[in-house]
Amino acid sequence: MKTVRTVIFAEGSFADDIHCKTGYGVLRYAPDTVVAVIDSQLAGRDAYEISRLGRGIPVVSDLTSALRFEPNRLLIGVAPAGGALPESWRQEILFALRKGLEVLNGLHTILSEDKEFVEAAETGGARIIDLRKEPDDLDVALCRAQRVEANVVLTVGTDCACGKMTTALEMLYEARRRGIPSDFCATGQTGIAIAGWGISVDHVLSDFTAGAAERLVLEAGADKNVKLILVEGQGALAQPVYSGVMLSLMHGSLPDNMILCHQANQQLVELVDRPMPPLAEHISLYEESMRIIKPAKVRAISLKTRGMDENEARRVIEETAIEAGLPVTDPVRFGSGVLLDAVLNDCPQKVPLSGEMAHIDLNPPF
């Protein structure tokens, strides 16, 4: 297997951890694979100065400058709203393909369906990996995830970009550290880039989004040794722009437990500028939305305290725990043990469904 040497394309966005969340995710969880970051506005600096991730990784102005680090992969690290390919990026991506670099694309624009990109890849002997391209044979959800014996945990949120993927991954690593056989179901392009498999549910036709979540849980649960399955949440029920994706994940994955993720001190719901409801309302909304299909409780809160000093973070965590009456922590700063304990201690008894669960073979994108 080849050694992956990735250049993260983050032109004009590397200073913004929201718009560059794919790049930040890979820098956090696979930093050893990254050799450079492209952002002409920040060229000459170290990635760590800007992101507090990726110490010793240079930021360069363009791919030509990055080639001296001998990359073999270009990751599009920016996740613009709507996921369309900006025309200004086209030439840089074409150049990468002609130079033989594998391109990992997390946009909604499917590059492998664009003749110019396909021809460039053929010229350079390169691959295009569209992380959001869905399988061709998805089905609707039929509550089959309940047949999985493992404890299924879904990370839900109060808004976008509040740490749902990060929380799931931190809990996965803590569970494995404890020797608990666990798996992670990636449901977005960043999670897929890190884990190497999954389905980006926000690119799936709406009839099949819950089916995609169900399929991921069935695939992870086909290994009877797996005791814990962490499903990456997307969007939020209180975020009207992306609420449908979250509801599909809930009804498709049929979680036994949920972890609520929240940005500390956030006052407004992103994109719509509505007042952020109290955490108790979010908890009630999630639990009531699951009640008729399969009762599941929010067991703990993952609080994103990025930008706060440690004392302030601890104070806000303590206040949030009192407000919500639940265990609370920031898993990045203080570890995810509190969250893992909450779902392990309160796992309800499974109610088996009739019928045999067929093994579903996924074809990981890379």
Q: What is the pLDDT of residues 18-46, one digit of tens each?
A: 889 999 999 999 999 999 999 999 999 99
In angstroms and rounded to an integer, the radius of gyration of the C-alpha atoms of the chain is 20
Whether 18 is covered by a domain: the verdict is: yes
Kindly state the average pLDDT of the residues 219-246: 96
Kindly state the average pLDDT of the residues 218-244: 96
Residues 174 and 318 in one domain: yes
Say which residues have a Cβ less than 8 Å from residue 337's Cβ, sequence separation at least 6: 174, 329
Whether 106 is covered by a domain: the verdict is: yes
Residues 192 and 299 in one domain: yes
Say which residues have a Cβ less than 8 Å from residue 26's Cβ, sequence separation at least 6: 6, 8, 33, 34, 75, 77, 190, 193, 194
Per-residue pLDDT of 126-144, as tens digits, reads 999 999 999 999 999 999 9
Q: Rounded to the nearest 5°, which phi and psi values hold at 344?
A: -75, -35
Stated pTM of the model: 0.91
Residues 181 and 246 in one domain: yes
Q: Is 309 helix (H, G, I), strand (E, B) or coil?
A: coil
For the cut 70, the answer to whether the pLDDT of residue 354 exceeds it is no
State how far the Cα of 301 lies from the Cα of 326, in Å rounded to an integer: 7
Per-residue pLDDT of 69-95, as tens digits, reads 999 999 999 987 778 999 999 999 999
Say which residues have a Cβ less than 8 Å from residue 190's Cβ, sequence separation at least 6: 21, 22, 25, 26, 79, 106, 165
Residues 109 and 66 in one domain: yes
Band of the pLDDT at 363, cuts 50, 70, 90? very low
Residues 240 and 157 in one domain: yes
Secondary element (H or E) of residue 169: helix 164-177
The total number of structural domains in the chain stands at 2
Per-residue pLDDT of 94-127, as tens digits, reads 999 999 999 999 999 999 999 999 999 999 999 9
Residues 28 and 106 in one domain: yes
Residues 185 and 246 in one domain: yes
> How many CA atoms lie within 13 Å of 340's alpha carbon, on the beta-carbon side?
23
Whether 338 is covered by a domain: the verdict is: yes
Residues 126 and 149 in one domain: no
Kindly state the average pLDDT of the residues 336-341: 97
Q: Is 154 helix (H, G, I), strand (E, B) or coil?
A: strand
DSSP 58: B
Residues 32 and 176 in one domain: no
Q: End-to-end alpha-carbon separation of the chain, Å? A: 12
Which pLDDT score is estimated for 80?
Answer: 79
The CATH number of the domain holding residue 237 is: 3.40.50.300
Residues 166 and 211 in one domain: yes
The CATH number of the domain holding residue 122 is: 3.40.50.720
Whether 279 is covered by a domain: the verdict is: yes
Which pLDDT score is estimated for 99?
Answer: 97
Mean pLDDT of the chain: 93
Residues 79 and 155 in one domain: no
Say which residues have a Cβ less than 8 Å from residue 364's Cβ, sequence separation at least 6: 196, 197
Amino acid identity, position 47: A
Whether 354 is covered by a domain: the verdict is: no
Which pLDDT score is estimated for 2?
Answer: 76
Neighbours of 193 (CB within 10 A): 27
Whether 150 is covered by a domain: the verdict is: yes
Parallel/antiparallel/unpaired status of strands 268-269 and 274-275 = antiparallel
Residues 212 and 318 in one domain: yes
Domain membership of residue 248 as a residue range: 144-345
DSSP 199: -
